[in-house]
Amino acid sequence: MEQIWAPWRIKYIQMGKPEGCILCDKPGQNNDAQNYILYRGSKNFVIMNAYPYNPGHLMVAPYRHVASLDELTDDELHEHFNIVSRSVRLLRQVFTPGGFNIGVNMGKVAGAGIDEHIHTHIVPRWQGDTNFMPVISEVRVVPEALAETYGKLKGKF
């Protein structure tokens, strides 16, 4: 039997929930490369998902710690979705995906893993990017390392 390994996933599976809010903490650490922060706007930033569904899975989040879209100011909201749009344009140029899933999960029951800090997921999609692995064994194989994806995207905003 052929085996496909994704050893980086075990860290996520086994780790406890960290203290604090990673979407507040990561930008304050001023180590963008280590934290996979690709872009900093005045009110929002772009960070790569450390446990992506696909290569290029990005998240746009406000610096301010709020749980819901309706808590954002007009300026925060405008910049947020402007950055989402720019992210889509950039991902099209770099990865040429066939489509995107773009979504906001508000609240735990809606599937939010970080429910106290609103953020928008941008997931590039390709024809056939889902195979038997998620269906049979609940495992998704991401074919590119985070550092390689970061290198392709950093500085292109």
119 φψ region: left (φ > 0), alpha (ψ -120 to 50), beta (else): beta
Q: In the structure encoding, which two tokens stand for residue 140, read together?
A: 């998704």
Q: Of residues 57, 80, 119, 121, which has the active-site annotation? A: 119
Q: What are phi and psi of 156, to 5 degrees?
A: -100, 0
10 Cβ neighbours under 8 A, 6+ residues apart: none
Residue 57 bears catalytic tag = no
For residue 121, the surrounding DSSP H or E stretch is strand 120-125
Give yes or no for a contact between 129 and 55, defined as CB atoms under 8 angstroms apart. Answer: no
Could you tell me the two tokens for 20? 């604090």
Rg (CA), the chain: 16
CB–CB of 118/69 below 8 Å?
yes
Write out the catalytic residue numbers. Answer: 119
